Amino acid sequence: MEEICHDTCELSTLMDEYGNCVLNTAYLYVKDKQLAEDIFQEVFLKAYLKFNTFQARSSIKTWLIRITINLCKDNLKSTYKKKVTVGLDDITATSESAEKAAVEHIESERLYIAVMSLKQNYREVILLRYYNQLTPEEISTVLNIHGGTVRTRLFRATSCLKKILTD
């Protein structure tokens, strides 16, 4: 019984430490809050059941993000796809004025749309690098590609974003 408590405590610690990262990554892939929450649960269930297979060749964060991406890709291959509608309810209440909040929301939405319009391999590296703040080496591990490929994709993706955002 003590082992189960220890594992549950470890799982709780993992969820506290990496939960937001996993949930946000899932949401950015599937673009559906409910589905992202389902994937979040599945990620930590898999992590709990397969923790003994973790080989520590990468960080736990990298391992969890890899599981998340794989589950998202599996889900996107299925017939269940939905579009995200970003509403005004996403505007934070802490903004100084409604006008400032609206401008911030529009700019944020514009960047989000630009990132999501990139080819998947470019979008992945941008999300992992700038949103999840992974190093190129960690991205290389997560995506199972060479470091040079990561740097090339990041360069090309940022070039595409600059072009999209300046047009």
Lookup: tokens for 44: 């930590």
Give me the pLDDT at residue 32, please: 84
Give the model confidence (pLDDT) of 38-91 as tens digits: 999 999 988 888 888 887 788 889 899 999 998 988 887 764 444 433 444 444
The model's confidence at residue 7, banded by pLDDT at 50, 70 and 90, is low
∠ CA 78-84-88, rounded to 5°: 165
Give the model confidence (pLDDT) of 133-167 as tens digits: 889 999 999 899 999 999 999 999 999 988 988 87
Asked if residues 40 and 26 have their Cβ atoms less than 8 Å apart, the reply is: yes
Asked if residues 145 and 66 have their Cβ atoms less than 8 Å apart, the reply is: no
| Block residue for tokens 């070039």 | 159
Give me the pLDDT at residue 80, please: 41
Report the distance separating Cα 97 and Cα 121, nearest Å: 38
Structural domains of the chain ordered from first start: 1-82 (1.10.1740.10), 84-167 (1.10.10.10)
Give me the pLDDT at residue 119, please: 92
| Complete DSSP assignment for 42-81 | HHHHHHHHHGGG---SS-HHHHHHHHHHHHHHHHHHSS--
Give the model confidence (pLDDT) of 116-142 as tens digits: 889 989 998 998 888 888 899 999 998
Give me the pLDDT at residue 127, please: 87
Q: Identify the burial level of 119 via C-beta atoms within 10 angstroms of its C-beta, where 0-12 means exposed, 13-18 middle and 19 or more buried.
A: exposed
Q: Identify the burial level of 43 via C-beta atoms within 10 angstroms of its C-beta, where 0-12 means exposed, 13-18 middle and 19 or more buried.
A: buried
Asked if residues 64 and 13 have their Cβ atoms less than 8 Å apart, the reply is: no
The model's confidence at residue 97, banded by pLDDT at 50, 70 and 90, is low
